[in-house]
Structure 1
Amino acid sequence: MFNQVLKQLWNARRSNAWIWAVLLVVSVLLWFALDIIYNYEAAARKPLGYDVDGLYNIELRYNWTTNADSTQDEDNRAIYNLIKDYPLVDKICYYRGDEPFSDNRMYEGFTPHSDSTFTVSTFIRLVSPEFFDVYNVTPIYGSIDSEHWSQGEYPVPVVMTRELADSVFGDASQAVGKTCYNPYYLMANISTNYKVVAVVADQKPFGYSRYEKMIYMPNQPEALPYSNIVVSVKPENRATFAEKFYADMRQPLERGVFYLLGAEPLSARKEAYDLSHGT
Structure 2
Amino acid sequence: MFKQIIKIIWKQRRSNGWIFMELLMVAAVLWYIADMLWIDMRVYNQPTGYDTENCWRLKLYDLNSSVAGFVSEEERTTTETEDLIALMENIRRETEVENVCASFYSHPYSWGNSWSSLEPVEGDTATARTRSYQTRRVTPEFFDVFRVKDKHGNAITPQLPPGEPCYVISEDMEKHFFEGKEGKGQRVRNNLQGNSVLVAAVSTPIRASDYDISDPCFFDVMVGSRLELMVKGFNASSAEVCLRMKRAMTLEEMYLFLESMGERLTVNNIYVYGAYSIAQQREDIIRSYRNESRTKIALMGFMLVNVFFGIIGTFWLRTQHRRGEIGLRIAMGSTPGGISRFMNLESLSLLLLTLPFILLFVGNMAFLDIIESGRIPISWERILPVVFATYLLLGIIIWLGIRIPARKAASLPPAEALRHE
Give me the TM-score of the superposition, normalised by structure 1. Answer: 0.77
CA–CA distance in 2 between the matches of 1:63 and 1:23?
67
Q: After superposition, what is the alpha-carbon deviation per residue over 1:194-249, rounded to whole angstroms, capped at 9, x for unaligned? A: 221211211212112212222112224432443211111112x6356413223224
State the shift of 1:117 in Å.
2.7
Give the CA deviation at 1:255. 4.7
Aligned equivalents of 1:28, 1:64: Cα separation in 2: 63
For structure 1, the 5+ residue unaligned runs are 14-18, 152-156
Secondary structure in 1 matching 2:276? strand
Amino acid in the other structure paired with 1:150:
E
Structure 1 residues 103 and 217, CA, compared in 2 at 3 Å: closer, same or farther?
closer
Give the equivalent residue in structure 2 for 1:263. Answer: 275
Residue 126 of structure 2: aligned partner? 117
Change in CA separation of 1:79 and 1:113 when aligned onto 2, cut-off 3 Å: closer
Q: Are the counterparts in 1 of residues 9 and 16 from structure 2 also a CA contact under 8 Å?
A: no
Structure 2 CA distance, aligned partners of 1:213 and 1:83?
33
Q: Rg larger in 1 or in 2? A: 2
Distance 1:68 1:34 in 2: 61
Structure 2 partner of 1:158: 167
For residues 126 and 102 of structure 1, do their structure 2 counterparts lie closer, same or farther at Cα, with a shift above 3 Å needed?
A: closer
2:202 alignment partner in structure 1: 199
Instruction: Give the length in aligned residue pairs.
Output: 260
Q: Which 4+ runs in 1 deviate beyond 6 A?
A: 1-5
2:164 paired with 1:131: no
1:208–1:277 CA contact under 8 A, matched in 2: yes
RMSD: 3.3
- From the two aligned structures, give the one with the greater strand fraction: 1
Distance 1:20 1:64 in 2: 72
* Residues 1:254 and 1:113: Cα distance change in structure 2 (over 3 Å): closer
For residues 127 and 102 of structure 1, do their structure 2 counterparts lie closer, same or farther at Cα, with a shift above 3 Å needed? closer
Query: Structure 2: how far apart are the matches of 1:138 and 1:269?
Result: 22
Provide the C-alpha distance between the structure 1 equivalents of 2:72 and 2:11, rounded to a whole number of angstroms: 90
1:90 aligns with 2:98: yes
SS at 1:90 equivalent: strand
Alpha-carbon distance between aligned partners in 2 of 1:48 and 1:116, rounded to the nearest angstrom = 28
Structure 1 residues 125 and 7: alpha-carbon distance in aligned structure 2, compared to 1, 3 A threshold:
same
The answer to which structure, 1 or 2, has the higher relative contact order (CA under 8 A, 6+ apart) is 1
Instruction: Work out the CA distance in 2 between the residues paired with 1:214 and 1:182.
Output: 13
User: Equivalents in 1 of 2:112, 2:119: separation in Å?
Assistant: 24
Cα 1:2–1:64 change in 2 (3 A) is farther
Distance across 2 between alignment mates of 1:148 and 1:77: 16
Give the conservation status (yes or no) of the 8 Å contact 1:88–1:241. no
Correspondence list, 1:142-181, <5 A: 144-151=158-165, 157-171=166-180, 173-181=181-189
| 1:217 correspondence with 2:216 | no
AA aligned opposite 2:127: F
Sort the Cα spacing of 1:2 and 1:170 in 2 relative to 1 into closer, same or farther, 3 A: closer
User: C-alpha offsets along residues 128-168 of structure 1, whole Å, 9 cap, x if unaligned?
Assistant: 111112222232369644452533xxxxx211111111101
Contact kept in structure 2, 1:97 and 1:124, CA below 8 Å: no
Structure 1 window deviating more from structure 2 (88-97 vs 57-66): it is 57-66
Runs of at least 5 residues in structure 2 that lack an aligned partner in the other structure: 1-7, 294-421
Which residue of structure 2 aligns with residue 44 of structure 1? 44
TM norm structure 2: 0.54
Task: From the superposition, tell whether residues 28 and 98 of structure 1 become closer, same or farther in structure 2 (CA, over 3 Å).
Answer: farther
More helix by share: 2
Alignment correspondent of 1:53: 53
Q: Which residue of 2 aligns with 1:16?
A: none
In structure 2, do the counterparts of structure 1 residues 166 and 147 end up closer, same or farther at CA, with 3 Å as the change threshold?
Answer: closer
> Does structure 2 retain, via aligned residues, the 8 Å contact 1:159–1:200?
yes
Deviation at 1:169, TM superposition (A): 1.0
